């Protein structure tokens, strides 16, 4: 693994109305960070939370925030290296699969 994968979690403090019983976007961000760190010890990654209700400086963030607001995606929306790996109710398996495509190996 040469490049540190970037994980982006887009969302808002309000829980998605379409995602009944799902955790908040911020909770999902914290949960993913902890789960990935446990499964892939000593394998660096960058994770960031992007609040779609705040003004965005980066064009990609603006684009995804607008697309979520226009109901193209549910939130939280999770991207790894620009690839959408989950939206709404996030599951770990697709996240892990994408990280393993980027060279991550689970601790045994």
Average of per-residue pLDDT across 78-97: 95
The pTM assigned to this predicted structure is 0.91
Output the six-digit token pair for 89: 């109710």
**pLDDT 10s digits, 13-69:** 877 666 666 788 999 999 999 999 999 999 999 999 999 999 999 999 999 999 999
Spatial CB neighbours of 67, under 8 Å, sequence gap ≥ 6 = 73
Output the six-digit token pair for 53: 């209700």
The pLDDT assigned to 52 comes to 95
Output the six-digit token pair for 14: 């309000």
Nearest CA to 80 out of 34, 45, 50 is that of 45
The pLDDT assigned to 28 comes to 94
Spatial CB neighbours of 107, under 8 Å, sequence gap ≥ 6 = 39, 40, 41
């Amino acid at each position: 693994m040469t490049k540190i994968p970037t994980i982006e979690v887009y969302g808002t403090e309000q829980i998605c109305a379409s995602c009944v019983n799902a955790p908040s976007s911020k909770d999902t961000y914290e949960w993913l960070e902890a789960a990935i760190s446990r499964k892939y010890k000593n394998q660096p990654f960058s994770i960031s939370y992007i609040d779609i209700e705040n003004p965005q400086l980066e064009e990609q963030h603006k684009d995804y925030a607008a697309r979520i607001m226009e109901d193209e995606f549910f939130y939280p929306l999770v991207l790894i290296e620009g690839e959408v790996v989950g939206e709404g109710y996030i599951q770990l398996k697709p996240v892990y699969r994408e990280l393993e495509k980027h060279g991550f190996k689970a601790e045994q």
